Every structure is written in C-alpha cells, then in structure tokens.
C-alpha cells in the first residue's frame, strides 16, 4: 500500500528553480546598496530563548500572544523560532559587546522568520526578511540615511514610482503614555462601536487601534485625541530635522499620524514604504527608532534605528510590475553539446573555457544521445549560445556556435578564438 505523499507545511513554501533566480537578483541588488553605504552583515540563529521576544516585542502584542512558534526542548527550555530579527540582533550585539560604550554599528542580516498567521498572498508562516539595524547614533541624520538607502534601492529595482513613503513620530515614552491614556478614555466611552479586534486591543495595546483596517473604527478615530498634541519638544525637533534632510535630497513622503507600527519598542521616528500593487499586503518595508530597546533587554542605554523588508512581497511586486530584467531568468550562457566519440574532448574544452572565463555559466549535455536531441535540450535551456563539438570540429581544431535566441547563421571558430568571441558577445 502506497504511503501518503508528504507535503510542505501550510504557509511554508518551496522556492523552486526559476523563482530562485529572482530571489538572487533581489538579494544581490540589496547587498550592493548596503555595501555602498558601508553596512556590515551579521548572522544570528533562528532559534532563541522565548523570553527574548517577550521582553523586547511585548507580552501583549499579537506576535507574542498568538503567532510565535514556541516549544520546549529536551532540557525543558522554552525556545522560539524568531518572529522578527531586531531582538536577535540586539541580543547578539550586547552579548558580544559590539555596542559597548555606545560604539557605532551599521549592520544588516537576511533570513527566515516564523509567525503562525493565516497564510495569504504576500503573508506566510515562514517568510524572509532583510533587516538593517544601526546603534550608537541618536540624531535624525541616521534615520534619514536609512530612508535614503531604501529610496536608492527602489530606484535600482525600477519600482520607485509605485511605492510611497509614510512618516510619523511616536514621541517619547512619556508622550506615548499620556496620549495612550487619553485615547483609552475616549475609546472606552465608545467601546461598543469598536470592531472586535480593537475592543481586545483597548486593554492590551491601544495604539494599534490607530492602525485598524475597520472603516467604522477609523471613522470613530476622526474625533479621537490627536497624537501630535502630545508629542514632546525634543521628538518634534527630531522629526523636523528628519523631514528637512529628506526634503534636501528630494525624497518625497506623506505624514501619516496614525502610523504606529506593531511592536512595543518603537519611539520617535516610524516609517513605512507602501504600495497599491499588492492588494491588502501593501507594506514592503517598515522601520523606526527604538532607543530604549537595548536597555530594556538588559544592556546600557543605546540609541538605535532600523528597518526590515519582506523578500516575498518585494518579489511579488517586481513580478507584478514586470520589473525583473530578462537576463535574470537565464541561468546559463552556453550549452555545450558533443558527439559521443569526442565527449572527452568536450570536457577539455569546457574546462578551458571556464578557466579563461571564471564567470562563464556553461552547462554540458550529459548522457550522450543524438545531436538533434541534444540541440532540443539546448533550446529548452536558458542558454544564449550552443557550442557544438563533433569529429569534424575536432579534426579542424574548431567549435561550431549557434545563437539560440536569434536566427543568425551558425559559425565556426578555432577553440582558441572562442573565449574572446564569447566575451565580446556576453558583454555587448
């Protein structure tokens, strides 16, 4: 009796050949921008102590209450698959004294995160993020640098016209506490008019109600206390400086006074890059300042600001806008076919070409077979050229070359000339 097929878990997806080229393209573009700004990579484990996230994200957030993958290991320790990267990065920096005495750091990381959410387009239970975190810099210029960096990335990806920057300031912890009290007083008197989710948040995380997608709740908030009336002077000046810097370099933005972000540790600057290209999952990059988090987690007070972007959502956006360059989907430049009698000579030619052209992507046909069948395989590959080697070519010290993408006539070159010719074609 055949056993049932084992499939991937719901919300945890395979990235297949064809898709992975787009992932590599996006990751390469991001790394190029980060390198250009002098940021260094850090790699953290995907499993951490559960208390790390309870202490940093907040025990009454949706993430900790409902979404974390938490389990006890064989030593009966409570462990969690990381739901986000900032807490892990702060833990690593504090543990290894990377930010001791307010030492400045500009760091980035990339990898999977895990949240038990309802899977939908652009939102998965295993999802991948690129995160950027900076430490030891309290002024608004580093906030501006992060936003300018993302702006440059959108330009490289040719999606700048389809994303909008939303900005807000959450002020100091005291300002947030005062506003939160006023908001709770206002909404408590109208609790029966709130949607069910907002009623629950009223006693756990009331600022998140500002971000509600319920139309009736949003209408109710129109007459609620205004967050801006509670912002402290220092935070207001910080925000004004940030706006001035963005204006100076021509980064456009929209002030969204209801932008609060979903994590407890944010204060002062918060921002999101949003798009209309992805339906309900419109946020492609988000972040802000979290000056109190290092101290909250047991370290010394350290100013910090960062952001994260979802790889899956950005890829969906690139594909929706047809912004993936054609060459990205190609995984090979040359497909080498040969008659069985000269297979050893084909191996030698392949080795020679790879030595002469270290970046060449060359795939050999394996397993023999008629030349017609081999050429069919070459045409079905993503290769631009087929290199053909038979007994005649070997006798004349040549290789025949067929352009698989154009209807140009087949040519023959000496094997010594082939590398130079190929270099010219691939760099043209």
pLDDT in tens, 132-143: 999 999 999 999
- The mean per-residue pLDDT over the stretch 50-63 comes to 78
Determine the structural domain holding residue 165 and report its residue range: 19-171+231-320
Residue 209, in any domain of the structure:
no
Q: What is the largest CA-CA distance in the chain?
A: 93
CB neighbourhood size of 140 (10 A) = 22
The band of 60, judged by pLDDT with boundaries at 50, 70 and 90, is low
Does position 5 have pLDDT exceeding 70, yes or no?
A: yes
Does position 262 have pLDDT exceeding 60, yes or no?
A: no
Q: What is the pLDDT, as a whole number, of residue 112?
A: 97
Supply the mean pLDDT for the chain. 91
Per-residue pLDDT tens digits for 382-410: 899 999 999 999 999 999 999 998 878 89
Q: What is the pLDDT, as a whole number, of residue 22?
A: 96
Together in a domain, 257 and 304: yes
Q: What is the pLDDT, as a whole number, of residue 16?
A: 94
Question: Packing angle between helix 311-320 and helix 19-36, nearest 10 degrees?
Answer: 110
The band of 260, judged by pLDDT with boundaries at 50, 70 and 90, is confident
Cα dist. 95→90, 99, 103, 343 in Å? 8, 9, 14, 56
Report the run of H or E that residue 396 belongs to, with start and end. Answer: helix 391-396
Answer yes or no: are the C-beta atoms of 141 and 245 closer than 8 Å.
yes
CB neighbourhood size of 300 (10 A) = 11
Together in a domain, 259 and 313: yes
Residue 189, in any domain of the structure:
no
The band of 172, judged by pLDDT with boundaries at 50, 70 and 90, is confident
Q: Which of 280, 301, 320 is the last residue of a domain?
A: 320
Task: State the CATH number of the domain containing residue 364.
Answer: 3.40.50.800
Does position 263 have pLDDT exceeding 70, yes or no?
A: no
Q: How many domains does the chain have?
A: 2
Question: Which has more pLDDT, 122 or 420?
Answer: 420
- The mean per-residue pLDDT over the stretch 166-178 comes to 89
The band of 322, judged by pLDDT with boundaries at 50, 70 and 90, is very high
Residue 204, in any domain of the structure:
no
Does position 61 have pLDDT exceeding 80, yes or no?
A: no
Together in a domain, 344 and 293: no
Together in a domain, 96 and 73: yes
Together in a domain, 300 and 369: no
Q: What is the pLDDT, as a whole number, of residue 388?
A: 96
Together in a domain, 336 and 309: no
CB neighbourhood size of 172 (10 A) = 20
SS3 304: strand
Together in a domain, 374 and 285: no
Chain centroid to CA 393: 48
Per-residue pLDDT tens digits for 175-233: 888 888 888 888 888 888 888 888 888 877 787 788 777 888 888 888 888 888 889 99
- Between CA 379 and CA 402 the distance in angstroms is 10
Together in a domain, 269 and 341: no
The band of 115, judged by pLDDT with boundaries at 50, 70 and 90, is very high
Residue 183, in any domain of the structure:
no
Nearest C-alpha neighbor of 348 from the set 292, 281, 418, 402: 418
Q: What is the pLDDT, as a whole number, of residue 150?
A: 98
β pairing state of 269-274 and 283-289: antiparallel
Together in a domain, 144 and 30: yes
- Between CA 130 and CA 108 the distance in angstroms is 7
Of 32-46, 277-291, 394-408, give the lowest mean pLDDT range. Answer: 277-291
Together in a domain, 282 and 137: yes
Together in a domain, 237 and 365: no
The band of 59, judged by pLDDT with boundaries at 50, 70 and 90, is low
Does position 1 have pLDDT exceeding 70, yes or no?
A: no
Q: Which of 256, 287, 320 is the last residue of a domain?
A: 320
Residue 177, in any domain of the structure:
no
Residue 281, in any domain of the structure:
yes
Task: State the CATH number of the domain containing residue 243.
Answer: 3.30.930.10
- The mean per-residue pLDDT over the stretch 43-60 comes to 87
Residue 111, in any domain of the structure:
yes
Residue 223, in any domain of the structure:
no
Together in a domain, 241 and 109: yes
Q: What is the pLDDT, as a whole number, of residue 121?
A: 80
Report the run of H or E that residue 320 belongs to, with start and end. Answer: helix 311-320
Q: Which of 320, 354, 388 is the last residue of a domain?
A: 320
């Amino acid at each position: 009796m055949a056993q049932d097929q084992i499939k991937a878990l719901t919300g945890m997806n395979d990235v297949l050949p064809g898709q992975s080229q787009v992932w590599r393209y996006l990751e390469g573009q991001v790394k190029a921008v980060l390198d250009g700004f002098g940021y260094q990579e850090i790699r953290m484990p995907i499993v951490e102590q559960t208390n790390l996230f309870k202490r940093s994200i907040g025990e009454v957030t949706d993430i900790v209450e409902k979404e974390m993958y938490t389990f006890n290991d064989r030593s009966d320790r409570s462990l969690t698959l990381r739901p986000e990267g900032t807490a892990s990065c702060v833990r690593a920096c504090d543990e290894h004294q990377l930010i001791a005495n307010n030492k400045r750091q500009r760091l980035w990381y990339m990898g999977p995160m895990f949240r038990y959410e309802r899977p939908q387009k652009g939102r998965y239970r295993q999802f991948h993020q690129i995160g950027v975190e900076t430490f030891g810099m309290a002024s608004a210029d580093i906030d501006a640098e992060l936003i300018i960096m993302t702006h440059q990335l959108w330009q490289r990806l040719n999606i700048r016209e389809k994303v909008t920057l939303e900005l807000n300031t959450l002020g100091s912890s005291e300002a947030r506490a005062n506003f939160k009290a006023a908001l709770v007083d206002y909404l408590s008197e109208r609790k029966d008019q709130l949607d069910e989710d907002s009623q629950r948040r009223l006693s756990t995380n009331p600022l998140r109600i500002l971000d509600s997608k319920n139309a009736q709740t949003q209408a109710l908030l129109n007459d609620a206390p205004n967050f801006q009336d509670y912002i402290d002077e220092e935070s207001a000046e910080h925000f004004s400086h940030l706006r001035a810097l963005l204006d100076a370099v021509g980064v456009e933005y929209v002030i969204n006074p209801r932008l609060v972000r979903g994590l407890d540790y944010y204060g002062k600057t918060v921002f999101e890059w949003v798009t209309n290209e992805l339906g309900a999952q419109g946020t492609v990059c988000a972040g802000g300042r979290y000056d109190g988090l290092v101290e909250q987690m047991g370290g010394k007070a350290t100013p910090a600001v960062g952001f994260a972007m979802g790889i899956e959502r950005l890829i969906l956006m690139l594909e929706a806008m047809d912004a993936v360059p054609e060459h990205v989907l190609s995984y090979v430049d040359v497909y080498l076919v040969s008659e069985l009698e000269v297979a050893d000579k084909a191996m030698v030619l392949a080795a020679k070409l790879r030595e002469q052209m270290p970046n060449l992507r060359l795939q050999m046909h394996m397993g023999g077979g008629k030349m017609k069948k081999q050429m069919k395989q070459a045409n079905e590959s993503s290769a631009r050229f087929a290199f053909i080697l038979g007994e005649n070519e070997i006798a004349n010290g040549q290789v025949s070359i067929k352009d698989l993408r154009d209807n140009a006539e087949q040519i023959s070159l000496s094997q010594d000339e082939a590398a130079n010719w190929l270099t010219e074609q691939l760099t043209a």
